[in-house]
Structure 1
Amino acid sequence: MTAPILRQGATFAFVGLTATAVHVVTALSARSWLQASALEANLIGYGFAVLISYFGNARFTFGKAALRGGQFARFVAVSLFGLALNQAITFVAVNRLGLDFRLALGVVVVVVPAVSFVLSRLWAFRAAG
């Protein structure tokens, strides 16, 4: 692995941890305070986290302007894929396997960021050309 990939990976992890913390706190709060279903709470948490993720990764991880070319549209596509994966994991874990919502979130916060980094690096924030 080259140094830029390691730096990007570390920065992506930091931005991701920040976004993940926002996701988890918001989702648990929505579940508790708003009596939201697991999927609703997860969607609310994800919505807040995705904003942190986009702006943090555009600026700090990949050094790009926030609304550069087709980058935002590609990020939205990656984000929607991540959301679908996120919701699928949550649905299967909670509704099919009967696992606790917190455990489902634990699986989500490991799998979705790994997939998102690969897609972001190779496609969403790729260099022009």
Structure 2
Amino acid sequence: MTRELVVFGCVGISAMLTHFVIVSLWLVPAGLPPLAANIVAFLLAFQVSYWGHRRLTFQAQHVPHRQSLPRFFGVAGLSFALNEVLYFVLLRFTPLDYRSALLRVLLLVAVVTFVLSKLWAFAGKRSA
């Protein structure tokens, strides 16, 4: 479990940095509104997250893609919905800069993602 948490953190930080860089250094400076940029960045960072967690965190090569990919996309989609709502609230009702708000949201949502990924998305058939 400790190894999983450490690797989850490393993969998650990689996905989070991918997400953050795409929003703050590419899309928002190019003129896309932060909430729209967040959607695009989520879809790109999802690739880092899925492959990293499948191969490294949960070592779930034994779980078929047809099972783990839709499940993890469901987990990621739920996490992203939570992300987008919390991001909207922080942008709308606090004086936080969009980058600071995004970092806070990404860290908070990571906990939900870990639990659902471990217990369902990358679990073998016995947990189906």
TM-score, with structure 1 as normaliser: 0.89
* 2:113 corresponds to: 116
Count matched residues: 124
The equivalences for 1:59-98 within 5 A come to 59-65=55-61, 67-98=64-95
Hey, what's the Cα distance between the residues in 2 that align with 1:125 and 1:53?
12
In structure 2, the partner of 1:52 is: 48
Distance in 2 (alpha carbons) for counterparts of 1:112 and 1:100:
19
Query: What stretches of structure 1 of length at least 5 have no aligned partner?
Result: none
TM-superposed deviation, 1:127 = 2.5
1:11 equivalent among 1, 4, 7: 7
Identity %: 33
Structure ranking higher on relative contact order (CA contacts 8 Å, 6+ apart):
2
Question: Could you list the runs of 5+ residues in structure 2 that have no partner in the other structure?
Answer: none
TM-score (norm 2): 0.89
Amino acid at match of 1:76: F
1:28-43 paired onto structure 2 within 5 Å: 28=24, 29-33=26-30, 35-43=31-39
Counterpart CA distance in 2 for 1:67 and 1:27 is 32
**Cα distance in 2, alignment partners of residues 14 and 47 from structure 1:** 19
